[in-house]
Amino acid sequence: MPFNPKPEYTISPKLFPVGDFYRYADEFVTRPPYQRKGVWSTKKKQALLDSLFRRYYIPKIVIREVRLNNDKAVNEVVDGQQRIIVVQEFFDNKLKLPKSLSDIHAGLADKYYNDLGAEFKRFVDKELQYDADVVRGIDDPHNPQHQKIATEIFWRLQQGESLNFMEIAHARLASLVRNFVVKYADDITFDFSEYKPIDNNPNKHKFFNIYSRDNDRMQHLLLLTRFLLLEKANGPTELRDSAVADFIDETISPNGIGNETYENDSYAKAVISNLNTFYEIFKGDPMLDEKSGLKELSRDYTTISFYLLLRHLKNNYILNENSKKLFHDFIINEFYPRWTNISDEDNDVLLFSSSRQMDQNNIEERSQILRQLFFEFVNKQNAEILTKDNKRNFNEAQKIMIYRHNKGFCQLCLSEGKSEKEAQVSWGEYEADHILAHSQGGTTDINNAQVLCRYHNRKKSGK
């Protein structure tokens, strides 16, 4: 028998009147979850309209049939997003016909759709069409293999495009890390339950309001992924492109599409916590506006170094308003001016600036230098940052002394006016608690300890 492998999908040709993309827009998913949001210039959009009206050759649109249930399907635009958006904007009177069409008829040039005469509208509605190939047989939006094939078709059609590794990684729909960074770092998102794109991402972290880089090539997603790698390694590690891509691929899961459970991972929680603190420290800076972040946060290698310094301070020192201000002032008033105007004699900043690569050694070098410069700055300010007590847990002997000292009564139960009988906690149920929280500098000794019942200990901890 001759070799003839079974195809994974079928292709059917189909003609679509261009007006269908506007009148029945809800039937077309113009930006699938594996695609970025592209933007054409007005000049390029009008050039396409010129080609349409002149009946010039326009490459086929590729559409994948996606079945949402037994009686409903949508057309996913695998290739042709911008060609469809152009005609949608034209019918919506947001885009004029080009002046170049004046040589065909003066009534066409520089006109919106609503401005056209009846004969021209008839021509547009009846004659103008897009030629398409419709892909069938890979129509399950929750099937990882179907999504993978659709993505592969998309990438093969984009071979002439300049795509960076992060844009390719963005298409790993079943990766849990990919889903996390898309949720918190992308400008746009996708609703898998309704299978439709959402142009404004309400979950994007506010940190990126102070980060002064565009996200047009997914720089925000890249930075957030690197922060995750730092947390996973508990400090400096390899952050080169290959390490980021491998990390995203490592978390590909059979049930990963639309799965956001990675945000419950300890590394993810630590990143969000650190970014919350970062934003709180800088959110009131007068440089900030709706269009631009802080100039001090415009380079990845410096921003990553600032992140490492902040997480070191949070893990080892009491981060109160005073220490937060010192961190802010160090970056704004001390380090950034020195870094942007490096003196030939400023060996520390010279070495920092020359160690800008994303390998572990360079990141470690920058981290050590920045930490040293920060504490030199603190000393110059005649300031002090209090260290945390590294011992977090009470030992067995201390627990016994605490229990005996408080006579086994939950101190918060008593403060609420409960009777001693109601406040009594058995040895097996009691929990030793820091009166002044460890995170706020409270020491782990019996003078800073009290008996709590499980309910009050969890309530106090916010669990």
CB 414 within 8 Å of CB 427: no
Query: Which is more confidently placed, 216 or 159?
Result: 216
pTM, to two decimals: 0.80
For the chain, where do the domains classified as CATH 3.90.1530.10 start and end?
10-158
Strands 129-136 and 189-191: unpaired
Residues ≥6 apart with Cβ < 8 Å to 402 = 394, 432, 446, 449, 450, 451
Taking the CA of residue 113 as centre, how many other CA atoms within 13 Å lie in the half-sphere pointing to its CB? 19
> pLDDT of 238-248, one tens digit each?
999 999 999 99
**75 pLDDT more than 80:** yes
pLDDT for residue 162: 64
CB 309 within 8 Å of CB 370: yes
pLDDT band at 277 (very low <50, low <70, confident <90, very high): very high
Average pLDDT of every residue of the chain:
93
pLDDT for residue 442: 84
d(CA 190, CA 199): 8
pLDDT for residue 161: 64
DSSP H or E run through 149: helix 144-157
pLDDT for residue 391: 66
CB 257 within 8 Å of CB 144: yes
82 by Cβ neighbours in 10 Å (0-12 / 13-18 / 19+) ranks as: middle
pLDDT for residue 193: 87
pLDDT band at 278 (very low <50, low <70, confident <90, very high): very high
What's the CATH fold of domain 10-158?
Answer: 3.90.1530
d(CA 152, CA 144): 12
d(CA 286, CA 411): 45
Query: Which is more confidently placed, 211 or 217?
Result: 211
pLDDT band at 463 (very low <50, low <70, confident <90, very high): low
The rounded Cα 455 to chain-centroid distance in angstroms is: 36
> pLDDT of 416-460, one tens digit each?
999 999 999 988 788 999 998 877 778 888 999 999 999 998 888
pLDDT for residue 410: 96
pLDDT band at 389 (very low <50, low <70, confident <90, very high): low
> pLDDT of 116-174, one tens digit each?
999 999 999 999 999 999 999 999 998 989 998 998 899 888 876 666 788 888 888 99
